[in-house]
Structure 1
Amino acid sequence: MFLSVKRLTKAFGELEVLKDVDLDIDKGNIVTIIGPSGSGKTTLLRCLNALEMPNDGVFAFHDGIEVDFSKQPSKKEVTALQRRSGMVFQSYNLFPHKTALENVTEGPLIVQKRPKKEVLELAENLLNKVGLGDKMDLYPHQLSGGQQQRVGIARALAIQPELMLFDEPTSALDPELVGEVLKVIKDLANEGWTMVIVTHELKFAEQVSDQIIFIDEGRIIEQGPPEIVLKSPKQERTQQFLQRILNPS
């Protein structure tokens, strides 16, 4: 087990977005989260990275570290939690005034204070890995959406996280650019990365996932391997959702 999440709860004012969510993530597994818009998928992902602070819940990691959100965690605990994961956003979130290479080196150099020579070598290797070795000196506005998202993936990998988080990484892309981003994620899956992915790409989810979670109105309705959740779901709500997605007429 890499991470066990218990009783995760998150509210924005009176609106309770996540309600007592329990989630286990095994090391080297890919967990995919699906569900309708507004169901709490992105909030769940952002809570895993403490970009949103849960109102309650306990995160227990494989190395014995626990973060209990029923008490106010210290800034040090939150920072340590954030450093475990790399986040890939649906809208890229690149620095527009920095080149692809500078975007990738920012975290390791500025936040982690790692040696410049080591970071530059790592960043170049990562940009080559995502197929952008010839685009290192270009700025975001000179890149396609798919290329920008691949820079975003390289940037998240550059902090050398234990966990990769993807928030609908293809939703802002033109259809013909989706494949190039999904290929990079598939390659990471084949390398054994631990990942949590929020996506509407059900075929992709079926191909890469060890576990699929269907969430609705802030609760996990169904979870299990893709052949169960996507092919023969037990819950009526899951069946309704998949029917609507797969047969939208």
Structure 2
Amino acid sequence: MYLTIKGLAKSFGENEVLKNIDFAIDKGKVISIIGPSGSGKTTLLRCLNTLEQPSKGLFTFEDGLTLDFSKKVNKQDLLKLRRKSGMVFQSYNLFPHKTALENVTEGPLIVQRRNKKEVTKLAKELLTKVGLKDKMDLYPNQLSGGQQQRVGIARALAIQPELMLFDEPTSALDPELIGEVLRVIKDLVNEGWTMIIVTHEIQFAAQVSDEVLFMDGGYIVEQGSPDKVIRNPQEPRTKQFLDRILNPGEY
């Protein structure tokens, strides 16, 4: 397995948001995380790259890197973990005073200190890949929400991560713009990227995922293939959630 998570927990004061989370992901596979708001999905994703530091839990990577958050984790290991993943946020998180191209080159140039000529070439290729060849010199406020999110995806790809993390990448978009972002993600799936996607787009999750995790109340209630979790759920809470999402007119 590329990454194995065991016993992951996260508390904010007395509020236990994640409770004993176990799962694993292999190289080139896609996991989608679904569930109601407040179930811990985003916190789980943020723990995976330590935007939120876990209260406890064991992270084991196939290259031998192991982090045990029940103890003090050294800074070098934290840096190694952070370098492995690229994050796409639901609210884009672009620098408003930088162009699309500058947003994509920022991480590789400033954080990774890579060669400017090579990074600029890569950034242009990535923006072309996500359909923004003619928008490179525009600022975020000159772009639609869907275009901003595609810049966010190019920015995450530019650091050349091993793992792509998507935190509800379409939740801030108008319905007509959702498709353009999902198409880009689908292209990445077809290219074999290792990805974990938090999403409310249930049908999309069913199409692209190797595994689906349904979360509620800080727990993984059900996990398995899309056929098992989405099309034939076993747990009553999973059935109730999916019925309300897929048949909203009945409520």
TM-score by length of 1: 0.99
Query: 1:211 matched to which residue of 2?
Result: 211
Query: 1:89 matched to which residue of 2?
Result: 89
Which residue identity does 2:115 align to in structure 1?
P
Query: 2:22, 2:197 → 1: CA distance?
Result: 17
**What SS does structure 1 have at the residue aligned with 2:110?**
helix
CA distances 1:8-39 after superposition (whole Å, capped 9, x unpaired): 00000000000010010111000000000000
CA distances 1:80-129 after superposition (whole Å, capped 9, x unpaired): 11110000000000000000000000000000000000100000000000
CA distances 1:147-196 after superposition (whole Å, capped 9, x unpaired): 00000000000000000000000000000000000000000000000000
Query: 1:217, 1:54 → 2: CA distance?
Result: 17
Query: 1:43 matched to which residue of 2?
Result: 43
Which residue identity does 1:45 align to in structure 2?
L
Instruction: Please state if 1:200 is matched with 2:200.
Output: yes
CA contact under 8 A between 2:49 and 2:81: conserved in structure 1?
A: yes
Query: 1:122 matched to which residue of 2?
Result: 122
User: Alpha-carbon deviation of 1:246?
Assistant: 1.1
Query: 1:25 matched to which residue of 2?
Result: 25
CA distances 1:48-104 after superposition (whole Å, capped 9, x unpaired): 011000000010001111011011111211111111000000000000000000000
CA contact under 8 A between 2:170 and 2:178: conserved in structure 1?
A: yes
Query: 1:78 matched to which residue of 2?
Result: 78
Query: 1:139 matched to which residue of 2?
Result: 139
**What SS does structure 2 have at the residue aligned with 1:70?**
coil
Stretches of structure 2 that go unaligned for 5 or more consecutive residues are none
Query: 2:89, 2:67 → 1: CA distance?
Result: 24
CA distances 1:134-156 after superposition (whole Å, capped 9, x unpaired): 10000000000000000000000
Stretches of structure 1 that go unaligned for 5 or more consecutive residues are none
Query: 1:191 matched to which residue of 2?
Result: 191
Give the ranges of 4+ consecutive aligned residues of structure 1 lying more than 6 Å apart after TM superposition: none
User: Alpha-carbon deviation of 1:247?
Assistant: 1.4
Query: 2:169 matched to which residue of 1?
Result: 169
Query: 1:75, 1:37 → 2: CA distance?
Result: 32
**What SS does structure 2 have at the residue aligned with 1:60?**
strand
**What SS does structure 1 have at the residue aligned with 2:64?**
coil
Query: 2:74, 2:137 → 1: CA distance?
Result: 39
Query: 2:70, 2:160 → 1: CA distance?
Result: 29
Identity of aligned residues (%): 72
Query: 1:202, 1:9 → 2: CA distance?
Result: 26
**What SS does structure 1 have at the residue aligned with 2:189?**
helix
Query: 1:203, 1:232 → 2: CA distance?
Result: 14
Query: 1:201, 1:229 → 2: CA distance?
Result: 14
**What SS does structure 2 have at the residue aligned with 1:58?**
strand
Query: 1:32, 1:22 → 2: CA distance?
Result: 15
Output the aligned Cα RMSD: 0.5
Query: 2:35, 2:56 → 1: CA distance?
Result: 22
